[in-house]
Amino acid sequence: MKDIRLGVDVGGTFTDLVALSEGTLITAKVPSTPQDQSEGVMGAIQTSEVEPDAVLALAHGMTVATNALLERRGARTALVTTEGFRDILEIARQNRPALYDLTHDRPPPLVPRELRFMVSERMGQEGEISPLDEDSLKAAISSVEDAEVEAVAVCLLFAFMHPEHERRVGETLREAMPDLHVSLSSEVLPEFREYERFSTTAADAYLAPRLAAYFSNLAEKAEEAGVPGPLIMQSSGGVVPLEDAISDAAGCVLSGPAGGVVGAAYMGEKSGYHDLLTFDMGGTSTDVAPIIEGEAQTTTETVVAGVPIKLPMVDVHTVSAGGGSVAWSDPGGALRVGPHSAGAEPGPASYGKGGGEPTVTDANLFLGYLADGTELGGEVVLQRELSGKALSDLGGKLGLDAEEAALGILRVADAEMVRALRVISVERGLDPRDFALLAFGGAGGMHSCSLAEELGINTVLVPRAGGVLSALGLAISDLRRDYVNPYLTDLEEVDEETFENRFVEMKNTAAKDLDEPKYTRRADLRYAGQSFEITVDAGSLQKLESRFHASHEQRYGYRMDDEAVELVNLRLIATVPVEKPELHEPAAESEPESGSRKANFDGEWLEVAVLDRETMGEGSEVSGPAIVEFKESTCVVRPGWRGAVDGVGTLVLEKE
């Protein structure tokens, strides 16, 4: 193999690798190394046995940023803001996590109050109102020095329109403390709404030192191994060079899930399906996302670990229901699954690594969907006996036997995942019956038919590389940068020349960042007085209003053609496409190798066929109930489903 493109995705339980070269696909899966994720990355490369000097590019998706927010293990960060506005991060919005629970507090802000410092200045919509006071600036710089922080976020009022004062504060900080990471809101998020801008910039500063340390460590190991420096997956669905990822740390929080959505869109298109609901079930969580007309949808309304991050991100909804999600009994005697996960260490009870609590994986193993003795990632062997003991222990607390406990665990987990799929379909104005469900992740295929039945979906796609599809998405991801230009005005008053010139300004910036990129224009619009926007295609000014009305009606069920429409932001997506491989599934030469084992469907034990996916080819058929064992995953074909392998290696299942 030559000119290999590597994609390596670090999950909560396993680290996945895909190597692509001239249509040939090599995969590898190894246990993740939570203490140092780069160890798992290099371990996957070694396991794949690819020649380092044949590697053309290495794309990487990880959970370092996400974990830092979830665990509040980012850098010690300060905030410098306009006098009188130090508490914006704490005041936030009037919404509450639990509307009727007065004891339920928001997660604490990333920057505590004692590390928020102020300067005397004021910008307004038209420009400077009060000059930046040099004495207050010196005092703020001195306070930051005394605080011994690792990073500082600078967020001044109206800096998104007039960044002069903010830039002056940033320059002074960098001169005084060259080793300090400084994030300016006018660079991170030049948009209005103080709280979201402050929150996103604070997250960027909070994450940057941790990511810089991780990336430096990874780059050093990659250099030692003789492979190129990594490209980093952004939450928006494109990769950037390592240095750009450090300067845009807040854009990395959904790095891993974004790769899966890109891979799903690619595989769905190759199979002839352009409207998809993606279902990525891993070891720790499940990620779902909509793909419309072959394009992954993005949003700027993401909240991660209680922190709003208003950057373009793939519209992924995540729930704590993965293969490693722990089942437990709550004080009221109800069966619950998650959010706690057994992770990679100690893992589910069946791993035999010290975990004694039953998980979704244990339930799947006990019910026969996974084979006793299955080897995962080259280091873990599943033991049904251990699953049975853990399920019996939990069942004893609930008045259930092991089988009833296992069936209950799957029903509870499935209910959580169905709710997630409804969020990204029904709650977006989309009818799930109009979509195909594309299942991937190590556990996605085991639950896909059950979820499809619940949602009225008649087609399920399970790609050959479904167990490592996020890594495949990384390997084929385009280079991408996103740009935004605030333009808050009534749409009727927008001058076309000014409209076009603002896009030209963003294109000029993009041309400096990327080599001959392709451009996509978008705009954020709203009805006058609304507190939220909808993003639509901005190919022409004349079509903006009609596109907004149609999008609003689809999303919210109504439109107001006689109401004034406001333009809020202009957006430009610049991409440099990478060459995508043509995947070909060889025709089946004979009947696939198969065995059989007992598996439980809806409380009934049946002797079902077990097919080896490696011996199947284009045209190989399967009829449920059956189990198809892929190299990195398993697909459970429920009774009433049948299908065949298509020309790109995807198992296409249809409900009879």
> Is there a contact between 233 and 267 (Cβ–Cβ < 8 Å)?
no
Per-residue CA distances from 330 to 193, 229, 230, 327, 570 (Å): 40, 47, 44, 10, 48
Q: For helices 194-225 and 37-48, what crossing angle results, to 10°?
A: 40
pTM above 0.85, yes or no: yes
Compute the distance between CA of residue 492 and CA of residue 539 in angstroms, rounded to an integer: 17
Over residues 180-203, the pLDDT tens digits come to 999 999 999 999 999 999 999 999
pLDDT tens track for 409-449: 999 999 999 999 999 999 988 999 999 999 998 899 999 99
Are 13 and 343 a contacting pair, CB within 8 Å? yes
The DSSP string of 358-379 is -BHHHHHHHTTSS-TT-EETTT
Strands 604-612, 276-281: pairing is unpaired
- For the chain, the C-alpha Rg in angstroms (whole number) is 26
The reply to whether domains 75-210 and 481-576 share a CATH topology is no
Q: Round to whole Å and give the CA distance between 305 and 313.
A: 15
Does domain 4-69+214-252 correspond to CATH entry 3.90.550.10? Answer: no
Residue 166: CA atoms inside 13 Å, Cβ hemisphere, count?
28
Q: Vertex 181, ends 116 and 149: CA angle to 5°? A: 45
Between residues 340 and 109, the one the model is more confident about: 109
Q: Please tell me the predicted confidence (pLDDT) of residue 344.
A: 67
Domain ranges of the chain: 4-69+214-252, 75-210, 325-411, 481-576, 594-655
pLDDT at 285 over 90: no
Arithmetic mean of pLDDT, 635-656: 95
> Residue 581's pLDDT band (boundaries 50, 70, 90)?
confident
Contact residues for 329 (Cβ-Cβ < 8 A; gap 6+): 335, 336, 394, 397, 398
The CATH code of the domain at 75-210 is 3.40.50
DSSP 75: -
- Please give the full DSSP string across 163-218, using - where no structure is assigned: -HHHHHHHHHHHHH-TTSEEEEHHHH---S-HHHHHHHHHHHHHHHHHHHHHHHHH
Per-residue b/e over 270-282, b at no fewer than 16 CB within 10 Å? Answer: bbebeebbbbbbb
Tokens for 350, please give them.
């069946």
Q: What is the pLDDT of residues 524-574, one digit of tens each?
A: 999 998 989 999 999 999 999 999 999 999 889 999 999 999 999 999 999
Tell whether the model's pLDDT for residue 47 goes beyond 70: yes
According to DSSP, the residues that pair with 525 across neighbouring strands are: 534, 567
CATH no., domain 481-576: 3.30.1490
